[in-house]
């Protein structure tokens, strides 16, 4: 087979971004070449999200366009990967016969063989000059899905296997360019990376597709996680974000570990009475989340920043808070979504905590970790869903009360979107009119916006360590280059908005608080170059490259920036030339 050109587009959350990176590494090793634009690609892959209807619609419209293109380009191979593939299953191929490959997030290890088959099939359909009907195309489709329950109910040995190998075989060559047609595109030293610690989710919040699309909660062996962090660090990474849907539930029981072919297998999550206090089994034959954090911190000292998303508000022990407090390179940042401020709604959502329990956690976390006098404030961000079935004005007011009480650094507000297959979809009518959802969304955003602005002001005059991710959006625009993630992918500049990589942020349903466009528009029209990056507390920080320094040598490093001006979530500061010169490469 010649070396097909692949265009891969990723939607959805960080989990998907990581999956795309792993898939791309695997395909690249097999000889596929990656291109920046769909035009001219022989294989087009969409790694999709299903968390809200709007996320799916974007993929449907892309597929509609490809159906037209494929009439002129019959050998084109189209693949739908990720959560939409898993949720919709073969119905997707029926609705969109343009799709040749369907691969759920739990089956990505099988993608190379599916693609290879699809590519050969397309070529032979053409060679035989068969006028393929839709039925032919469907029967030629290459499909790998978990199905409803396979990985949830299967034995450990059958379940983990090569999916774990996909993470283990991660390509970490630091300066590798994935794209030979555009050699500069990938040739940025990768300094920031995601590392998965837990797959899937066992919570079954009634609105959520993730337990169905990602399957059962499975914890990766700590040795695999630490080795991966070491490999990434050796390749130049200085910032790692650990990923899981409920990261604080991480727990690996060594006594129960299964080894296949010399490789310790990931382990199914199980509920345990962890409560809010120390895990009684910690330190024995169990690696808890607290143990994992402290081991990574101690065993991989060249990681300058360690963070994790997403935290579940329940079962978050003091042991984890102590570890964060006592380990300086763990960020004082928690993403811990409340979803609602009404106990009645939380119950209907099956979240498993009350508002007062949530607030108890927030107060406890601040008690341990909010130390502004030491220059280490705690930043908390959240997610809220408005317009859940039966939600009343009183429930919504309670949510506003919660936002005011918690004072999030930022909070993503989502309008409830009924998802087929979930309990809420089956049992609760989507009875809040869209106009009301919109109004609540806007109100919540306004409140959050004011709070973000107030909190940002507290940074005025402070000097923050900023991980420099790349040129600011306006700087990119000025240079008329497509937006790129220079730092390695934790945050991206997409579609005209600086976004924090998180489920739904580029989704119009998401009332996430973005860096306001007008804030980005100034300070860049002159001769200076504006860079952007993130503070330890996940604030977006903009600053100009000082004279005597170059943008290239600052990107991918952590530099001290003194904040001089703020606007909502955006902080604007100054880097002094001396420290720019001093910082090590």
Other Cβ atoms within 10 Å of 73 Cβ, number = 11
Q: State which of residues 205, 264, 444, 499 lies at the interface with ligand SF4 (CB under 6 A).
A: 205
Q: Does 417 bind ligand F3S (CB under 6 A)?
A: no
Residue 103 near residue 85 (C-beta atoms within 8 A): yes
Residues 8-67 that bind ligand SAH (CB under 6 A): 51-52
Residues 244-263 that bind ligand SAH (CB under 6 A): 245-246
Of residues 315 and 506, the one with the C-beta less far from ligand SF4? 315
Task: Find the angle CA(80)-CA(85)-CA(86) to the nearest 5 degrees.
Answer: 150
Q: Does 349 bind ligand F3S (CB under 6 A)?
A: no
Name the minimum Å distance from CB 323 to ligand SF4. Answer: 22
Q: 215: which 2 tokens?
A: 């399957």
Residues 294-313 that bind ligand SAH (CB under 6 A): 310, 312
Distance of CA 299 to the CA centre of its chain: 25
Q: State which of residues 119, 316, 353, 416 lies at the interface with ligand SAH (CB under 6 A).
A: 416
Residue 328 near residue 262 (C-beta atoms within 8 A): no
**Stretch near ligand F3S under the rule CB under 6 A, chosen from 9-17, 96-104, 126-134, 443-451:** 9-17
Of residues 423 and 528, the one with the C-beta less far from ligand F3S? 423
Place of tokens 């993503």: 412
Q: State which of residues 414, 467, 543, 572 lies at the interface with ligand SAH (CB under 6 A).
A: 414
- CB-count burial class (<10 Å; 0-12, 13-18, 19+) for 27: buried
346 binds, among ligand SAH, ligand F3S, ligand SF4, none (CB under 5 to 8 A by kind): none
**Dist. CA 68–CA 457, nearest whole Å:** 51
52 binds, among ligand SAH, ligand F3S, ligand SF4, none (CB under 5 to 8 A by kind): ligand SAH
Of residues 13 and 432, the one with the C-beta less far from ligand F3S? 13
Of residues 49 and 569, the one with the C-beta less far from ligand F3S? 49
**Stretch near ligand SAH under the rule CB under 6 A, chosen from 100-108, 207-215, 226-234, 326-334:** 207-215
Residues 15-54 that bind ligand F3S (CB under 6 A): 15-16, 49-51
Q: Does 201 bind ligand SF4 (CB under 6 A)?
A: yes
Q: Does 12 bind ligand F3S (CB under 6 A)?
A: yes
- CB-count burial class (<10 Å; 0-12, 13-18, 19+) for 227: middle
Q: Does 311 bind ligand F3S (CB under 6 A)?
A: no
204 binds, among ligand SAH, ligand F3S, ligand SF4, none (CB under 5 to 8 A by kind): ligand SF4
Q: State which of residues 49, 108, 178, 210 lies at the interface with ligand SF4 (CB under 6 A).
A: 210
**Cα–Cα distances in angstroms (integers) from residue 421 to residues 49, 200, 391, in the given order:** 15, 16, 21
**Dist. CA 343–CA 534, nearest whole Å:** 34
Could you tell me the sign of the dihedral formed by the alpha carbons of 71, 72, 74, 79, in that order? negative
Q: State which of residues 417, 443, 459, 532 lies at the interface with ligand SAH (CB under 6 A).
A: 417
**Dist. CA 57–CA 77, nearest whole Å:** 21
Name the minimum Å distance from CB 312 to ligand SF4. Answer: 6
Of residues 11 and 289, the one with the C-beta less far from ligand F3S? 11
Site size toward ligand SF4, by CB under 6 A: 10
**Stretch near ligand SF4 under the rule CB under 6 A, chosen from 133-141, 203-211, 395-403, 518-526:** 203-211
Q: State which of residues 160, 245, 459, 570 lies at the interface with ligand SF4 (CB under 6 A).
A: 245
Using DSSP bridges, classify how beta strands 259-260 and 251-253 pair: parallel, antiparallel or unpaired: unpaired
Site size toward ligand F3S, by CB under 6 A: 14
Q: 286: which 2 tokens?
A: 């169990």
DSSP conformation letters of 258-301 = -EETTEEPPEE------TTS--TTBTTTEEEHHHHHHHHHHH-T
Place of tokens 């490469």: 585
Q: 112: which 2 tokens?
A: 């190379």
Residue 399 near residue 444 (C-beta atoms within 8 A): yes
Q: 532: which 2 tokens?
A: 């952007």
Q: 300: which 2 tokens?
A: 């991989």
**Cα–Cα distances in angstroms (integers) from residue 137 to residues 93, 159, 186, in the given order:** 9, 30, 35
Q: State which of residues 211, 317, 487, 573 lies at the interface with ligand SF4 (CB under 6 A).
A: 211
**Dist. CA 504–CA 369, nearest whole Å:** 28
Q: State which of residues 172, 192, 246, 417 lies at the interface with ligand SF4 (CB under 6 A).
A: 246
Site size toward ligand SAH, by CB under 6 A: 19
Q: Does 251 bind ligand SF4 (CB under 6 A)?
A: no
Name the minimum Å distance from CB 8 to ligand F3S. Answer: 14
Residues 6+ apart with CB under 8 A from 376: 332, 369, 536
Strands (E), 325-441: 333-335, 379-386, 410-415
Residue 73 near residue 107 (C-beta atoms within 8 A): no
Q: Does 198 bind ligand F3S (CB under 6 A)?
A: no
Of residues 204 and 281, the one with the C-beta less far from ligand SF4? 204
Place of tokens 């317009």: 387
Q: State which of residues 214, 297, 314, 539 lies at the interface with ligand F3S (CB under 6 A).
A: 214
Q: Does 503 bind ligand F3S (CB under 6 A)?
A: yes
Strands (E), 49-151: 77-82, 101-103, 142-144
Residues 73-102 that bind ligand F3S (CB under 6 A): 82-83
**Dist. CA 74–CA 235, nearest whole Å:** 41
**Residues of this chain that bind ligand SAH (CB under 6 A):** 51-52, 207-208, 210, 245-246, 310, 312, 337, 339, 383, 385, 414, 416-417, 419, 503-504
- Residues interacting with ligand F3S, by CB under 6 A? 12-13, 15-16, 49-51, 82-83, 209-210, 213-214, 503
């Amino acid at each position: 087979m010649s070396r097909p050109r692949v265009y891969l587009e990723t939607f959805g959350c960080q989990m998907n971004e990581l999956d795309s990176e792993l898939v791309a590494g695997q395909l690249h090793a097999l000889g596929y070449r990656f291109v920046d634009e769909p035009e001219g690609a022989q294989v087009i892959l969409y790694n999709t999200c299903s968390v809200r209807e709007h996320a799916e619609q974007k993929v449907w419209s892309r597929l509609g366009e490809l159906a037209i293109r494929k009439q002129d380009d019959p050998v084109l191979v189209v693949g739908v990967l990720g959560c939409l593939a898993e949720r919709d299953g073969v119905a997707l191929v029926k609705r969109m016969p343009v799709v040749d490959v369907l691969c759920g997030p739990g089956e990505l290890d099988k993608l190379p063989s599916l693609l290879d088959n699809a590519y050969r099939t397309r070529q032979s359909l053409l060679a035989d000059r068969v006028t393929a009907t839709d039925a032919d195309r469907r029967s030629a489709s290459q499909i790998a899905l978990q199905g409803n329950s396979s990985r949830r109910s299967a034995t450990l040995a059958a379940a983990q296997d090569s999916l774990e190998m996909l993470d283990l075989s991660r390509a970490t060559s630091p300066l590798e360019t994935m794209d030979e047609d555009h050699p500069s595109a990938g040739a940025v030293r990768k300094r920031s990376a995601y590392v998965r610690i837990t797959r899937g989710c066992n919570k079954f919040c009634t609105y959520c597709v993730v337990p169905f699309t990602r399957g059962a909660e499975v914890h990766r062996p700590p040795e695999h996680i630490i080795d991966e962090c070491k490999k990434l660090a050796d390749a130049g990474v200085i910032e790692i974000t650990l990923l899981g849907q409920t990261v604080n539930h991480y727990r690996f029981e060594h006594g129960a570990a299964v080894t296949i072919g010399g490789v310790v297998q990931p382990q199914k999550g199980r509920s345990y009475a962890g409560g809010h206090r120390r895990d009684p089994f910690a330190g024995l034959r169990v690696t808890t989340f607290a143990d994992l954090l402290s081991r990574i911190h101690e065993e991989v000292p060249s990681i300058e920043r360690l963070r994790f998303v997403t935290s579940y508000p329940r079962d978050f022990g003091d042991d984890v808070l102590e570890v964060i407090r006592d380990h300086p390179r763990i960020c004082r940042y928690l993403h811990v979504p409340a979803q609602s401020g009404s106990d009645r709604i939380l119950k209907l959502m099956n979240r498993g905590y009350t508002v007062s329990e949530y607030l108890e956690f927030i107060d406890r976390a601040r008690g341990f970790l909010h130390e502004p006098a030491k220059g280490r404030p705690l930043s908390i961000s959240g997610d809220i869903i408005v317009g859940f079935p039966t939600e009343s004005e009183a429930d919504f007011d309670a949510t506003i009360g919660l936002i005011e009480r918690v004072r999030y650094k930022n909070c993503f507000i989502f309008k409830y979107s009924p998802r087929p297959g979930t309990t809420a979809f089956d049992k609760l009518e989507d009875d809040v009119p869209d106009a009301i959802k919109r109004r609540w969304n806007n109100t919540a955003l306004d409140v959050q916006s004011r709070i973000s602005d107030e909190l940002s002001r507290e940074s005025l005059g402070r000097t923050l360590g900023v991980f420099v991710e790349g040129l600011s959006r306006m700087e990119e625009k000025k240079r008329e280059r497509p937006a790129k993630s220079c730092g390695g992918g934790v945050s991206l500049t997409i579609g005209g908005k600086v976004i924090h990589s998180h489920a739904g942020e580029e989704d119009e349903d998401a009332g996430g608080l973005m860096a306001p466009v007008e804030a980005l528009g100034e300070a860049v029209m002159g001769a200076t170059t504006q860079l952007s990056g993130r503070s330890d507390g996940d604030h977006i920080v903009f600053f100009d490259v000082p004279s005597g320094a170059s943008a290239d040598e600052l990107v991918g490093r952590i530099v001290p920036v003194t904040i001089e001006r703020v606007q909502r979530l955006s902080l604007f500061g100054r880097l002094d030339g001396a420290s720019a010169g001093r910082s090590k490469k």
